[in-house]
């Protein structure tokens, strides 16, 4: 009887899920026991993710009384987002998954951000600052406690995006760090149809990454450790430079 209880206990312990989000300037971590959010860490200080991610991981585990050996899976935002941030988060998550021999889940950054629109009835549009006067975005329909993707992930000018949304003539909830940069433009083009949350509710949260990852875990849906990679949507500066230099018949 004690042996059976021990097996059940170990099985229960292995449900711990660590979620990592470094796709934007926010460094976020969440710790779930099955579908229950147990702890969350959030930093929006502008420091490099590489300086603070692992100390935050160790701290959130210690605060929850969880050891690395207790983890049953690790989730990470897979993009789009900051090229450097995505690489740091992905490398950290893969390192943990490989060393601890646990499954890994890649969660789309925009899907996770759109979860902030739960409770809103209408179109939800997360926008992440992609620089070069563009945002990473996609459109979702929020209704009946669910958020459903309506179109593809893309990088686009916020002005063009606003003009497209204006044609739909419907209220749109915007979320993400792109709001602070482009809020005036969105209001200018969409008027009262542009809806915003307070910044504290609009920024990326690792808890949303954890919620999506936990739902996939319940279905047994994981990613391959060796083939999972960031989704950048567009080329990095290094790739653009290389293409200009070697793209025309170069080495």
Q: Per-residue pLDDT tens for 149-197?
A: 999 999 999 999 999 999 999 999 999 999 999 999 999 999 999 999 9
Cα–Cα distance, 205 to 31 (Å, whole number)? 12
Name the pLDDT band for 45 (thresholds 50, 70, 90).
Answer: confident
CB neighbours of residue 207 within 10 Å: 21
Binned at pLDDT 50, 70 and 90, residue 8 comes out as: very low
Instruction: Specify the pLDDT at position 90.
Output: 98
Domains and CATH numbers, the chain: 2-108+204-234 (3.30.420.40), 111-202 (3.30.420.40)
pLDDT at 34: 82
Query: Which residues in 102-141 are b (16+ Cβ under 10 Å) and which e?
Result: bbbbbbbbbbbbbbbbeebeebbbbbbbbeeebbbbbbbb
- For residue 164, the model assigns a pLDDT of 97
- The reported pLDDT for the residue numbered 3 is 42
153: buried, middle or exposed (CB in 10 Å: 19+, 13-18, 0-12)? middle
Question: Which of 37, 46, 94, 92 is closest to 64 using CA atoms?
Answer: 37
Q: What is the overall mean pLDDT for the chain?
A: 89
Per DSSP bridges, beta strands 134-137 and 36-43 are unpaired
- Region 124-144: mean pLDDT is 96
Element (H, E) at 169: none
pLDDT score of 202 more than 90:
yes
């Amino acid at each position: 009887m004690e042996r059976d209880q021990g097996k059940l206990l170990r099985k229960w312990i292995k449900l711990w899920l660590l979620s990592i989000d470094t796709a934007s300037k926010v460094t976020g971590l969440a710790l779930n026991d099955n579908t229950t959010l147990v702890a969350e860490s959030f930093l929006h200080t502008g420091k490099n993710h590489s300086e603070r991610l692992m100390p935050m991981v160790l701290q959130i585990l210690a605060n929850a009384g969880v050891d690395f050996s207790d983890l049953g899976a690790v989730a990470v935002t897979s993009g789009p987002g900051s090229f450097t941030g995505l690489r740091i988060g992905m490398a950290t998550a893969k390192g943990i998954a490989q060393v601890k021999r646990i499954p890994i889940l890649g969660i789309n950054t925009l899907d996770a951000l759109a979860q902030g629109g739960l409770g809103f009835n209408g179109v939800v549009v997360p926008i992440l600052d992609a620089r070069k006067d563009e945002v990473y975005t996609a459109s979702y329909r929020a209704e009946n406690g669910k958020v459903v993707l309506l179109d593809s992930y893309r990088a686009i000018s916020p002005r063009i995006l606003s003009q497209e949304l204006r044609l739909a003539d419907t209220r749109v909830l915007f979320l993400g760090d792109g709001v602070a940069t482009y809020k005036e433009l969105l209001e200018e083009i969409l008027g009262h149809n542009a809806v915003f949350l307070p910044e504290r509710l609009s920024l990326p949260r690792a808890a949303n990454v954890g919620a999506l990852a936990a739902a996939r875990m319940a279905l047994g849906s994981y990613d391959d450790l060796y083939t999972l990679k960031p989704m950048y949507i567009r080329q990095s500066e290094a790739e653009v430079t290389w293409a200009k230099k070697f793209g025309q018949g170069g080495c």
